[in-house]
Structure formats: C-alpha cells, structure tokens
Amino acid sequence: MQVVIDILENEIIEKYPDILEILLRDQTTQKNIFWATDNYEHLGDSYKFNSEILFSSITGENGNIIMPRVYKDKVLQLSRSKEMAEVFTPSWICNAQNNAVDNSWFGRENVFNKEILLENGTKSWETTKEKIFFPKDKTWQDYILDTRLEITCGEAPYLVSRYDTTTGESINIENRIGLLDRKLRVINENVNSEKEWINAVEVAYKNIYGFEWQGDSLLLAREALLITFIENFTYKFETEPTLETIKNIAHIISWNIWQMDGLKGVIPNSCKDEIIETATIFETQTEIRKCKGCEKQDLKKIKFHNGIYCNIMDWGIEQPIRFIDLLEK
Ligand SMILES: C[S@@+](CC[C@H](N)C(=O)[O-])C[C@H]1O[C@@H](n2cnc3c(N)ncnc32)[C@H](O)[C@@H]1O
C-alpha cells in the first residue's frame, strides 16, 4: 500500500465529507481548535495566534497550508524549535521506548520487533513475523484496553508511525511501531469478523490519548490517527470503511487528542489577568489580579488557574472529566 505522508485537507473533504469539521472540533470549548502559534499570521486575520482554525482557512486554495514539520522550511523549523521546543523524535527512538513499555507489560523482550544496529551506525528494527502470544494471566483484550498517553504529542509519532517525523520516510502497516499501531496489529491478528473488528478498534482508539499546544501539529496528529484507521481497515478487509464508521472514529479522536497547555491543564493562553474595579464615593479603584496558578509556575498550583480547564472523555462512564482531576488519582 502506498503511504501518503502529507494528508491533504482537500482530499479528506472530497473523500470523507464532514470528517474535517469533526477533526477541527475542540470538545472543551465547543469551538474549533485554534492556531496557538503566530507562524501563520502573515496570511491574514483568520490565521492570528488566537484565531480558530476554520475549515475555509485550510481547504480550497488554502489546502496546502498545513504540512508536517519535515516539509516546513528550515527557518520555520528552527523558530518552532526555539519558541515551542519543537524537536521531533526519530521513529527508532519512539520504537525503543514503546518496546520498553511492552517489555514490562509482556514480561519478555522483542514482542513486536527486534531493535537492530545498522551499518551506518543508526538504529532500526526488524518486525517479528509470528502471531503475538500473551502471558498466562493476560489476554489480547487486556492489551487494547490498557490506556496510553503521549504528552506534548506534536504529530504523535509515539502513537502512530505512518512516517518517520524526522525524515519523512513512510513506514508500511506491518512495520509500524506506535502505541496505537501495536494495538491495531493485535486486533488484526485476533479478529476476523468486520463487526467485532470495528468494536475492538473503537476500544483501542478510546484508550489512546495525546495532547499538544500548537493547533497545526494537533490537526496533523488527529489526521494521522484517522488515516491509520482507514489504512488498517483497508489492509484487513480490502475495502474502505463506511463513512459512518469513519465518523465514529473521528469523534473519538476529537476527544482523545486534544489542545492543552500541559503545564497548566488549560486551553493554551486562556488564563487572564482579572481587572477588579471597586467604586467608593470619591473614586473608582482598579486592581489587576493575576491568575493565581500562573503567578508561580508550580505544578502544585495547577488547580488555581483561572483559564479554561480541558475536559477529556471518560469512555467507561461516557462522561467528560477535567484532565487535571486525573492527576490526583
Ligand atoms: C520536543 S516536541 C515533541 C513532539 C513529539 N512528542 C515527538 O516526540 O516527536 C515538543 C512538543 O511539545 C509542544 N509543547 C511545548 N510546550 C507545550 C506545553 N506547555 N503544553 C503542551 N505542548 C507543548 C510543542 O508544540 C511540540 O510539539
């Protein structure tokens, strides 16, 4: 299967109507996700730091505006590294770290692949060909239910690995190494009925989370998770999934891959100075009250921000919960 790296927004709307609107949704604010970067401000008012990413801003003649970091020009890459610490992780490192998680879960090594050293000194991996077997006390269903989160996910290379985010090299389905890719491999190996496959895959998506500050990277991450679903369905059943099924997955993604300032648990830059005016008979006094959480960058003060705390979905009870409330658990 040909893996196309830069997912074009125009192609999404042409092939899968309504899906892009779902991928642009911010489930906390019930608006769209916003740019949260000034990299696009030169394009006009709709591209300002605080502007929502509108359907019209990234489709039609604007369909090429959002592109993966690897295709962004070098000057822009550098400024994003300086301003937002944007440095993406090569796939072999994501693989090594994801392997460490699985080594501990399975209680053995080389479950999904074996890491190898290449002649040029870089590293890679060789995928195991045999069907994965599970430890005595665990099942494949336990594996897809185990929840994983990629913090500050960028284009989400730890979750899905359609391409190496540092080189742009595409990776075919059998050799992918992301945390979600691994769940999908397990499902592909254990389920053959289409209905059961879709149910299991929905469970897998509900147990994969990621958050990111910058709106463009966040959209790329969401698109990558969605196209990964379509590619896996097509790989397994040799036909495309229905639009309804794609919509369900897009809805889950719009909750689970969300926009947040990870240091504060709020929508980026949503904390504000409050202006308190007190009127006496002689004068009006104005006091500027800073956000208590922001006054000191202290994670212990994470509950004292006055910004908009981000909600995520607890799929077990189908209720939104505040992300920061999970930190107490
Ligand atoms: C070093 S990159 C890592 C991206 C990806 N996880 C990877 O390994 O390739 C860091 C990412 O964190 C994001 N970021 C920086 N500060 C953040 C914050 N306070 N909250 C959420 N994301 C943030 C940046 O936009 C950038 O995409």
Mean pLDDT of 294-310: 87
Q: How far is the CA of 317 from the centre of ligand 1 (A)?
A: 29
Q: How far is the CA of 306 from the centre of ligand 1 (A)?
A: 23
- Rounded Cα distance between 111 and 119, Å, is 24
Q: What is the reported pLDDT for 315?
A: 96
Residue of minimum CA distance from atom 13 in ligand 1:
152
Banded model confidence at residue 77, pLDDT cuts 50, 70, 90: very high
- Rounded Cα distance between 272 and 307, Å, is 7
pLDDT in tens, 129-184: 999 999 999 999 999 999 999 999 999 999 999 999 888 889 999 999 999 999 99
- Rounded Cα distance between 1 and 176, Å, is 13
- Is residue 1 pLDDT above 60, yes or no? no
Q: What is the reported pLDDT for 2?
A: 55
Burial of 325 (0-12, 13-18, 19+ CB in 10 A): middle
Q: How far is the CA of 150 from the centre of ligand 1 (A)?
A: 10
Q: What is the reported pLDDT for 156?
A: 96
Q: What is the reported pLDDT for 167?
A: 86
pLDDT higher for 72 or 299?
72
Q: Which DSSP letter does residue 62 get? A: G
Looking at every residue in the chain, the average pLDDT score rounds to 94
- Is residue 306 pLDDT above 90, yes or no? yes
Residue of minimum CA distance from atom 27 in ligand 1:
154
The answer to whether the beta carbons of residues 1 and 35 sit under 8 Å apart is: no
* Residue 148, phi then psi, degrees to nearest 5: -130, 145
Q: What is the reported pLDDT for 287?
A: 87
Above pLDDT 70, what percent of the chain? 98
The answer to whether the beta carbons of residues 99 and 113 sit under 8 Å apart is: yes
Q: How far is the CA of 144 from the centre of ligand 1 (A)?
A: 25
What number does the ligand 1 atom closest to the CA of 262 have?
20
Q: How far is the CA of 86 from the centre of ligand 1 (A)?
A: 6
- Rounded Cα distance between 177 and 98, Å, is 8
Residue of minimum CA distance from atom 10 in ligand 1:
86
What number does the ligand 1 atom closest to the CA of 94 have?
8
Q: What is the DSSP string of 66-80?
A: ---GGGS-HHHHHHH
**Best of 79, 150, 152 for a ligand 1 pocket test (most atoms within 8 Å of beta carbon):** 152
- Is residue 240 pLDDT above 70, yes or no? yes
What number does the ligand 1 atom closest to the CA of 165 have?
9
Question: Other C-beta atoms within 10 Å of 231: how many?
Answer: 19
Q: Which DSSP letter does residue 291 get? A: -
Q: Which DSSP letter does residue 210 get? A: E
What number does the ligand 1 atom closest to the CA of 263 have?
19
What number does the ligand 1 atom closest to the CA of 217 have?
27
Residue of minimum CA distance from atom 4 in ligand 1:
154
Within 6 A (CB) of ligand 1 lie 84-89, 150, 152-154, 157, 165, 212-214, 217, 261-263
Banded model confidence at residue 261, pLDDT cuts 50, 70, 90: very high
Directed axis angle between helix 194-206 and helix 215-237, to 10°?
A: 160
Q: What is the reported pLDDT for 76?
A: 92
What number does the ligand 1 atom closest to the CA of 155 have?
5
Q: What is the reported pLDDT for 175?
A: 97
Q: What is the reported pLDDT for 3?
A: 65
Q: How far is the CA of 239 from the centre of ligand 1 (A)?
A: 35
Q: How far is the CA of 217 from the centre of ligand 1 (A)?
A: 9
pLDDT in tens, 55-76: 999 999 999 899 988 888 898 9
